Amino acid sequence: MSVDFGPAGALLGAGIIVTAIVIPLRVLKTNRYPSYSRLEYSLVETYSGEDFFDSSGYGNGTEATDGFTNYVTKEGAKWSNLTYATSNQAIIRVLPKDDTGTAGRPTVKILSRQRYTHGLFIFDIGHVPYGCGTWPAIWMSDTEPDIWSKHGEIDIIEAVNQGNKGAQFTLHTTDGCEMGVKRKQTGKALSNNCLNSTNYNMGCAVRGTPASYGEKLNGNKGGVYAVEWRTAGIRMWLFPRDQTPPNIELGKPEPSEWGTATADFPPRNVISIRTSRITG
Q: Which residue in 76, 74, 150, 79 sits closest to 113, CA to CA?
A: 74
The residue from 158, 178, 215, 254 that is catalytic is 158
Report angle CA 255, 111, 122 to the nearest 5 degrees. Answer: 15
Residue 276: how many CB atoms within 10 A of its CB?
24
Cβ burial of 134 (10 Å; 0-12, 13-18, 19+) is: middle
Rounded alpha-carbon distances, angstroms, from residue 16 to 20, 21, 26, 137: 6, 9, 16, 54
Which DSSP string do the residues of 197-222 spell out, in sequence order?
A: TSGGGT-S-EE--GGGSHHHHHHTT-
Q: In degrees rounded to 5, what are phi and psi of residue 230? A: -150, 175
45 catalytically annotated: no
CA 32 to chain centre: 22
Quote the CA–CA distance of 168 and 204 in Å, as a whole number.
Answer: 10
**153 in active site:** yes
Catalytic one among 45, 153, 178, 249? 153
Catalytic residue annotation: 153, 158
